[in-house]
Structure 1
């Protein structure tokens, strides 16, 4: 598929018989593609490309997008809706990539939307994506607060572990210009996806992100819903009330930093055709991990996801989580959010709560570890467990886990005085490693490090048994519906129950 420049996100593969496969490409049109046969040199395998996968569903989507275009607020919205439609009709991801360039340019819309084959989390190879749709309404007051952080982004990028005197204090492994992205706090009206994310940073195409930019959204009502759900019981009872009080604000701003400065930072070292590099190849920059010139980078045609394969999504999320956690003790940054030692919720208490959450999230991640295949079933879970292992291994007791097997109880203990001196240092070391592996396409070193860190040993398998025994009910989201009667739009909400969820989907009529 690479050889024929066929993007994989909207495809799936079907095995017909031995040495005979079909690549199914999602599209409305059933016409034969330009390249029908994907010849594999020196191989008996025959691969055929077929259009029209999910044709009926995509046709309905295109019809509704055409209707939505009548109510678009500006030309940019009309343009990317038209590009959505063309992409879904033809199966062309080149056109979809164009839609993402246009979508990024639509700054601060009152109604935000995301459609397409977007996230690859469900693909074991971390490449093919599932279709998702999101329509949300922006919250002007919350968005204004996020804008303050965007305006000060450069200042805090200079405090990340790879920063150095070059490049205006940001270092050579960071972009020269941090293009302030559109950053909005939104409330989801309808969100159709297997995972309802608390925050989103798109597009996922790194070349578009580096050349055009990206957008961040925080889905505030989804985060509020999670904060009211039943919690994992890994905090000592004496601290639970205080933990609950601080959990939502710590989590909210952790996600904010994750999306903006986690996914928004970093410069890939790239070689383009005709011996063209985006760094000085005659005198390569020094790798801060060993002090030597880098000797790996992305060769022509290579991409982050293509090179790192099944590690890419988990690594990307882990790196972003680490950026947020690493900065969550910065007094100036927390003051920007309204947290000082004199505020109702003190800045130091917020940092303490975050480290508690690092422990809790790392433990609950074990529920997504598959014992049969000995693999991680969820990219974020693997990331959270790896961060816990890092703190247990490298923070000299800043974070500990107590396990009472008989009582089936796990307790996260954070040594508050060690957070800055040891906890932050441990997270910073891990963050620097993942950042450098990612920037320099050092796949093997990255795989060795990350697979060791995310390895579930015998002790952790015992923890997993206790985690499963304490697993709360799954987080289920019930969504409202809108109905049109003449010129009137009615919002109908449902009870937060299993029955309410089913009824909302039945009445959505999809």
Structure 2
């Protein structure tokens, strides 16, 4: 469902929320995802769009909010919430039938790892977990974007309706709802959006600053098996770069990234519509399968090696990062209002989208 949010006392701009947060309740009763419509609408998706080819730019700008809505729903509702962790409880009971042990889809043999009592994915995978989990959720969302029934359920396309071949919709067509998006166009632009976010997100990677993959706040497996990782300021950026690199490694690859020959720090992406639908989908499905199995079976060693291999920024990717740094813009300020109760009346206070307005909004919240 979609609802506007009146005010949100958070340090980040939330696009949606999923609840309830208690796993036992979610497992028994299910869960809901709420899109915060006015928060989502405020995301400046196409004010600054480097690296997208001129052939794709117009349609990309038309569909950015549509894709962001759909991907957010699938990411949160299914990407983060699917699967079952293989684990023991405090009494030593295992949550699967020992006479019918789950098989690894990679080896065909019985799984050999799982979560001990008290362990959770964060304690097993340490510092890489947030990025790994976001990469899994984004991959699952992309996989599901290929399913027409899913897009119909989200209201993105309508069953049994296709666009006229060779016709381009006008702004009025969009406003009046006369143009109904076709499935392939939505899927193509969903991939394009992830690629664009991944390239821009390279600015949050510091390839020279290395950290150990451990979580010092808990005693965890990752802490006892440290590996040196490049530093990322944002887990989502590393996650999306993992998808981008997976697409580049696919055979045949649906994606080409071209550095400008004049020496300018700029890039152009070219995505094959046909290959996205086939090779791209297979590659991202394989990525989702690997991360899902590693997470569910607490396979830290294989998960670490696999995830590091697709998220290390080296070679040509370092030049892409240079281009991202040159074209990096200051992050836009998102300022939420506050409500005040005065003599029995509710007053809503807005603030300008400036540094002063942002600080004042938090000062008035008194938290």
Task: Calculate the TM-score normalised by the size of structure 1.
Answer: 0.60
Q: Which residue of 2 aligns with 1:246?
A: 63
Q: Which residue of 1 aligns with 2:203?
A: 367
Give the one of 351, 361, 385 matched to 2:241: 385
CA RMSD of aligned residues (A): 2.2
299-308 or 199-208: which moved more? 199-208
How far off its partner does 1:281 sit?
Answer: 2.1
Secondary structure of 1:189 counterpart: coil
**Residues 447 and 228 from structure 1, CA distance in 2 versus in 1: closer, same or farther, beyond 3 angstroms?**
closer
Q: Which residue of 1 aligns with 2:81?
A: 264
Give CA deviations for 1:253-281 in whole Å, capped at 9, x if unaligned.
Answer: 01101111111210111122444211122
**Residues 473 and 395 from structure 1, CA distance in 2 versus in 1: closer, same or farther, beyond 3 angstroms?**
farther
Match status 1:344 vs 2:180? yes
CA contact (8 A) 1:398 1:415 kept: yes
Q: Which residue of 2 aligns with 1:443?
A: 300
How far off its partner does 1:237 sit?
Answer: 2.6
Q: Distance in 2 between matches of 1:333 and 1:216?
A: 15
Unaligned 5+ runs, structure 2: 164-178, 210-229
Q: Which has the higher strand share?
A: 1
Secondary structure of 1:471 counterpart: coil
CA contact (8 A) 1:229 1:475 kept: no
Aligned ranges 1:267-278 → 2 under 5 Å: 267-278=84-95
Q: Distance in 1 between matches of 2:309 and 2:338?
A: 46
**Residues 272 and 498 from structure 1, CA distance in 2 versus in 1: closer, same or farther, beyond 3 angstroms?**
closer
How far off its partner does 1:225 sit?
Answer: 0.5
Aligned ranges 1:79-478 → 2 under 5 Å: 143=1, 185-202=2-19, 209-210=26-27, 213-227=30-44, 230-336=47-153, 337-340=155-158, 341-342=162-163, 343-373=179-209, 374-404=230-260, 406-478=263-335
CA contact (8 A) 2:17 2:35 kept: yes
Give CA deviations for 1:281-327 in whole Å, capped at 9, x if unaligned.
Answer: 24311111221111111122222211111122112111111111111
Q: Distance in 2 between matches of 1:506 and 1:445?
A: 47
Q: Distance in 2 between matches of 1:495 and 1:254?
A: 30
Q: Distance in 2 between matches of 1:430 and 1:205?
A: 28
**Residues 451 and 338 from structure 1, CA distance in 2 versus in 1: closer, same or farther, beyond 3 angstroms?**
closer
CA contact (8 A) 2:46 2:64 kept: no
How far off its partner does 1:508 sit?
Answer: 3.7
How far off its partner does 1:200 sit?
Answer: 3.0
Unaligned 5+ runs, structure 1: 1-142, 144-184
Q: Distance in 1 between matches of 2:19 and 2:107?
A: 32
Q: Which residue of 1 aligns with 2:169?
A: none
Larger Rg: 1
Q: Which residue of 2 aligns with 1:48?
A: none
Q: Aligned pairs, how many?
A: 327
CA contact (8 A) 1:268 1:440 kept: yes
314-323 or 281-290: which moved more? 281-290
**Residues 269 and 242 from structure 1, CA distance in 2 versus in 1: closer, same or farther, beyond 3 angstroms?**
same
Secondary structure of 2:267 counterpart: strand
Secondary structure of 2:43 counterpart: helix
Q: Which residue of 2 aligns with 1:488?
A: 345
Task: Calculate the TM-score normalised by the size of structure 2.
Answer: 0.82
Q: Which residue of 2 aligns with 1:96?
A: none
Give CA deviations for 1:354-413 in whole Å, capped at 9, x if unaligned.
Answer: 111121111112111023413222111110110110011115221221112622211221
